[in-house]
Amino acid sequence: PPRSTLFPYTTLFRSDGRRLILEYCAGGTLRSHMLSPLSLADILDLISDVLCGLAHAHQQGIVHCDIKPENILLSYSDGRWRAKISDFGIAKLLQADAANQPTTFMGTLAYSSPEQMDGRVLDSRSDIYSLGLMMYQMLTGSLPYWPSKNNFGGWYKAHTRSEERRVGKECRSRW
């Protein structure tokens, strides 16, 4: 007999009559799951999911430009949480003609790459930098650096002039 499969979705209605249909991710955002330490296995699975999603976006010529825990949604399937990248609202298409690519800053200061903060032309490496910051935070419970002032200039200095920070005791103590 025929089987039907139902997938949970949510629909956003716009005043102009258009609809945006999105998968409903019952797990909320990655940020909500980072409030308590994640297991190393969970971190590796979730980072792997995000890397696969970014690889697909980058193969299509899309740079997300705002990878952060709030833009990673989680759904539960096959016995584990699955990460899904959301909010491509400021994503940029990679363009062969760099002169036509917008170069103004948009993004989240704590997770932005130095080239993003400089307003330079972005490529996939900018998303990988942001993912690296997020992964460090998942492993240690904090970002690798924090600015002296929580403004653009403070974050710019943190991203471009920070000392190397070794992951050691703070990482091991979480497991």
Active site residues: 66
Q: What is the dihedral of CA 74, 78, 58, 90, to 10 degrees?
A: -20
Specify whether the CB–CB gap between 116 and 90 falls below 8 A.
no
**Separation in Å, CA 20 to CA 66, 74, 75, 151:** 21, 19, 19, 34
Specify whether the CB–CB gap between 101 and 92 falls below 8 A.
yes
